[in-house]
Amino acid sequence: MAFGSNDSDDEIISDINLTPLIDVMLVLLIIFMVTSSVATDEGLDIKMPEAATKSKTLEQESIQVLADKNGKISINKQVIGIENLQQKLSEIIKEKNNGFIVFKGDKATPLELILKIMDISNKSGATRFAIATTKN
């Protein structure tokens, strides 16, 4: 639509309307942002035990050690064998300069494995421990 002169009636408007494209891209961006913050990838599929209370821990400051019912162990979302656990924990504790370890274990994880991991963590230089649970 041209205003002013009648000579412009023969002109073809070749501009592309970008408003719908921008709207779609913004909606896709919002969907991506919401779904990426909800998705958590902890490396192992575990079902944590429940407790009546739940304490708040600073996950960014802690070193997270996960153990599943099959005996697989991961540190900060990286699967590792128990034979390399002490070396890897020592490296992470020195790198972060923090000995706070949060244990996350499956309900069916053997107590012997948890105690072995705690013993190895203590030998690696860990100073504080916590056990993660879900609130029932």
Q: How many domains does the chain have?
A: 1
Q: In this predicted model, what pLDDT tens digit does every residue of 97-106 receive, in sequence order?
A: 888 888 888 7
> Is residue 111 situated within a structural domain?
yes
Q: In this predicted model, what pLDDT tens digit does every residue of 32-68 receive, in sequence order?
A: 888 776 655 555 566 666 666 655 545 557 888 888 8
> Is residue 30 situated within a structural domain?
no
> Is residue 20 situated within a structural domain?
no
Q: Which domain holds residue 73?
A: 50-135
Give the Cα separation of 43 and 40 in Å (integer): 9
Single-letter residue type at 91: E
> Is residue 78 situated within a structural domain?
yes
pTM for the model: 0.55
CATH of the domain at 100: 3.30.420.270
Q: How confident is the model at residue 29 (pLDDT cuts 50, 70, 90)?
A: very high
> Is residue 38 situated within a structural domain?
no
What's the start-to-end Cα distance of the chain, in Å? Answer: 64
Inform me whether the pLDDT recorded for 5 exceeds 90.
no
